[in-house]
Amino acid sequence: MRWRIVDLCRWVEERWGVSYSETGMLRLLWSLELSHRKTRPRHPQSSEKAQRAFKKGGLLLA
């Protein structure tokens, strides 16, 4: 499920009766060391072995 800042503001207001602007909600999330960003999905054909080799500074030959 994906939460947008607008949805979170609306949910907080319905739940606790406190209204936040989008900017205010972002600041609150940052102050709590939370992030509204999602991780990037992995490509279905990505190779763990190739990624490890790249991180080590080497090339993976096929």
Tokens of 12: 């907080």
Would you state the pLDDT for residue 2? Answer: 74
Question: Global pTM?
Answer: 0.55
Helices 5-16 & 22-31 angle (0-180, nearest 10):
90
Angle (nearest 5°) at CA 43 between 37 and 47 = 120
Give the mean pLDDT of 18-38.
88
pLDDT bin (cut points 50, 70, 90) of residue 3 is confident
The CB-based long-range contact list for 49-55 (8 Å cut-off, 24+ gap) reads none
| C-alpha to C-alpha distance for 61 and 33, rounded to whole angstroms | 41
Is residue 24 pLDDT above 90, yes or no? Answer: yes
Residue 34 has pLDDT above 80, yes or no: yes
Alpha helices in the chain (DSSP H): 5-16, 22-31, 48-55
